[in-house]
Amino acid sequence: MKLSGIEQSWVETIMEAVIPPGKDERYPLSALDTDAVEVFCEMLLYLPPITGLGLRLAVLMVEFTGPMIGLGKAARFSGLGLDEREACLSSLSKKDAYLVRQLVLLIKSVACLAWCGDRRVRSALGHDLPPKFVKR
């Protein structure tokens, strides 16, 4: 199942908060620079339906209830500033409720898969360098 346009914009907002732009000069690319939203959408096409439902549920939970659960604010996630979004996800990932933590972890996992799958990020991490061996 494909995401609707509004769902896709929610995913963009969440992905930007997971791996925001410009936080480290060594790794300047954000999740949006590495096509994390496209990876998310493609995963929905190939994953089993129940897993795809879990991904969609994670997006809906973060968008509609994330700020209330994480920050105690009556707002939508997409209406928060970038710093508040980061604080919200950080708070959600530390909640006692297992389901809340796991839904946030699911989104973070997709963002990190897309980010680390980008050739430019792997190069910045040094994965294109020859291996170094330690002499014992």
Domain residue extents for the chain: 5-125
14 near 31, Cβ under 8 Å?
no
13-33 residue pLDDT tens = 999 999 998 777 878 888 988
Q: Which of 126, 124, 132 is nearest to 25 (CA)?
A: 124
What is the model's pTM?
0.85
Residue 38 to residues 41, 84, 97: CA-CA distances in angstroms?
A: 5, 24, 29
Letter string b/e over residues 25-48, b meaning 16 or more CB atoms within 10 A of that residue's CB: eeeebbbbbbbbbebbbeebeeee
Give, for 38, the enclosing helix (H) or strand (E). Answer: helix 36-46
| Rounded Cα gap, residues 136 and 128, in angstroms | 24
pLDDT at 4: 87
pLDDT band at 136 (very low <50, low <70, confident <90, very high): low
Mapped onto helix, strand or coil, the DSSP state of residue 5 is helix
Structure tokens at 91: 């708070």
81-116 residue pLDDT tens = 999 999 999 999 999 999 999 999 999 999 999 998
Structure tokens at 16: 């930007």
Which amino acid, residue 74?
A
